[in-house]
């Protein structure tokens, strides 16, 4: 099973940015956590982060025919990007949307998620464990 884990803008600043919302783990810590989990589960994982919307679209398109599923935290593009929604629909791969913070309890502008319209599941507010839950969902259907 091959899974692509995509992180959008500012998630490379984890550990530094707004720790009350996103905790103290760095992006490097998150990558290590996902890699360790996936090697235990014998999942072939690819990690990708970009601050640029078009690069995220390109990476989703590259997954077509190569990956079995996508875990995505689109960061702020969650709330604005029809292009990312369309890319997920285009490749038609099972996709889980993850947010580290509990977006539903935050500002009004965070209540819209375009990506959610194409996601099989959305996980919010479980910190970085949400990524592991998303991998469980894609590999075990739960
Ligand atoms: C986030 C929530 C978004 O609203 C925000 O713009 C982010 C991170 C989360 O992981 O909680 O960058 O996706």
Q: Where are the domains of the chain?
A: 2-140
Q: What pLDDT digit, counting tens, does each position of 75-114 carry?
A: 999 999 999 999 999 999 999 999 999 999 999 999 999 9
In the predicted structure, residue 71 carries a pLDDT above the cut 80: yes
90 token code pair: 């285009």
Alpha carbons 101 and 113: distance in angstroms, whole number: 14
Largest CA distance in the chain: 39
Q: What is the pLDDT of residues 13-55, one digit of tens each?
A: 999 999 999 999 999 999 999 999 999 999 999 999 999 999 9
Using alpha carbons, select from 114, 138, 110 the residue that is nearest to residue 125.
110
Question: 2-140 belongs to which homologous superfamily?
Answer: Dehydroquinase, class II (3.40.50.9100)
| pTM summary value | 0.97
Q: Residue 140 and residue 142: Cα distance in Å, rounded?
A: 5
| Cβ of residue 10 lying under 6 Å from some atom of ligand 1 | yes
Which are the catalytic amino acids? 22, 99
Torsions phi, psi for 124 (to 5 deg): -130, 150
> Ligand 1 pocket, 71 CB below 6 A?
no
């Amino acid at each position: 099973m091959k899974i692509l884990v995509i992180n959008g803008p500012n998630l490379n600043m984890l550990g530094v940015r707004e720790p009350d919302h996103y905790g103290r783990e760095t992006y490097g810590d998150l990558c290590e956590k996902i890699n360790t989990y996936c090697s235990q589960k014998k999942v072939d994982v690819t990690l990708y982060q970009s601050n640029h919307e078009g690069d995220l679209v390109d990476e989703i398109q590259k997954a077509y025919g190569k990956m079995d599923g996508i875990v995505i935290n689109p960061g702020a593009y969650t709330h604005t990007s029809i292009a990312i929604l369309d890319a997920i629909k285009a490749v038609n791969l099972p996709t889980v949307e993850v947010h580290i913070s509990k977006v539903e309890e935050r500002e009004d502008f965070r209540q819209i998620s375009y990506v959610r319209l194409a996601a099989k599941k959305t996980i919010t507010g479980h910190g970085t464990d949400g990524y592991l839950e998303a991998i469980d969902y894609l590999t075990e259907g739960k």
